[in-house]
Amino acid sequence: MPSHDSADSDHSTSGAYVHAGQEFDRDMNYIPDRIVREGTDAEGRPAWPVEAGRYRLIVARACPWANRAIIVRRLLGLEDAISIGYCGPTHDKRSWTFDLDPGGVDPVLGIERIQEAYLKRYPDYPRGITVPAMVEVSSGQVVTNDFPWITHDFAAEWTEHHREGAPDLWPADVRDEMETVMKRIFTEVNNGVYRCGFAGSQETYEAAYDRLWTAMDWLEERLATRRFLMGDSITEADVRLFTTLARFDAVYHGHFKCNRQKLTEMPVLWAYARDLFQTPGFGETIDFDQIKKHYYIVQTDINPTKIVPKGPDPEAWLTPHGRESLGGRPFGDGTPPDPEV
């Protein structure tokens, strides 16, 4: 069972809000449906069947939670089995929209905003309209937006459709420890930056800031002697950490006031992040322009002017990282994904 990222705080369509005097609290209630090989999920509840071509993964390159799904789909080679639709980097309070597509309409689902897929299944859907989301193509209905399970099930349930040489992102010999590592990464880092950015008081901000940097120092130490979080090869734990690190200097350092240091000033984490960025399946999923537009334009509680910063220079991500000296094989017994056309 994956670390469910169950913690506090909200990543609804409108991003989040600053509530004066309050700590940021993430709503982790998602559509609990799963897509599995058998007829029920691990808890015995009815589930949707794995079937190539039946579902479309809806994402936004700007969103770190959706970025996980983009990377895992690439690493496992699920492109032919699960189509993908990209929302634009900005949205209103209603929903992410398909403004990157001709006419602003997803070419497969025929809709302008992902909200339509949610309302088709739940006409009175009360929660945030989030990405990533899996949508059944034939009915146009959302299946699930439970993002920790989406990537877990890509690895565990879609194995029949994995490419030859797909890496094992959930290796059995480290799975228990990996669950613990991923839980800390989510609560203290992935969600920790949001807890800083949307703190409603000086006291809650400083407490969130201290928690974040305690975890960042722990990661700097952990990764000093091992190439990846769980050892010699990439696992889902690395995917989950990478999407936050990729956004750190461009967004979280300034916009979310996580400013003790830049990522580029942490020698181990910066080298580790570049190592992943330069690994097939990771860097090509990152669009810094879309990332910056999302945070600086949508989150007007924090940035009311909607001015988007020009920097930092993304070319820094392509500089040598030197992590090869730690050995290891990024894909374990597997192989890199084919280059994107």
Annotated binding-site residue numbers? 96
Q: Which of 86, 194, 205, 296 is catalytic?
A: 194
Residue-wise burial string across 60-85, b where 16 or more C-beta atoms lie within 10 A, e elsewhere: bbbbbbbbbbbbbbbbbbbeebbbbb
DSSP string covering 28-60, please?
A: -------EESSSB-TTS-B-EEP-TTSEEEEEE
> Residue positions in the annotated binding site for glutathione?
96
Q: Does residue 86 carry a catalytic annotation?
A: no
Q: What is the 3-state secondary structure of 112-149?
A: CECHHHHHHHCCCCCCCCCCCEEEECCCCCEEECCHHH
Is-contact 100 87, C-beta < 8 A? yes
DSSP conformation letters of 140-189? --EEE--HHHHHHHHHHT-GGGPPTT---SS-GGGHHHHHHHHHHHIIII
If one counts every other C-beta atom within 10 angstroms of the C-beta of residue 206, the result is: 12
How far apart (Å, rounded) are the C-alpha atoms in residues 42 and 153? 11
**Active site includes 194?**
yes
Query: Which residues neighbour 15 within 8 Å (Cβ) at sequence distance 6 or greater?
Result: 294, 295, 298, 299
Q: From the DSSP assignment, how many helices (H) and strands (E) are in the chain?
A: 9, 6
Tokens of 92: 């209103």
Q: In the numeric block, which tokens belong to residue 13?
A: 């369509």
Q: Residue 1 burial (CB < 10 Å; 0-12/13-18/19+)? A: exposed
The tokens of 47 are what?
């589930």
Residue 304 CA to residue 296 CA, distance in Å, equals 9
The single residue of 55, 63, 118, 296 carrying the catalytic annotation is: 63
Which residues are part of the catalytic machinery?
A: 63, 194
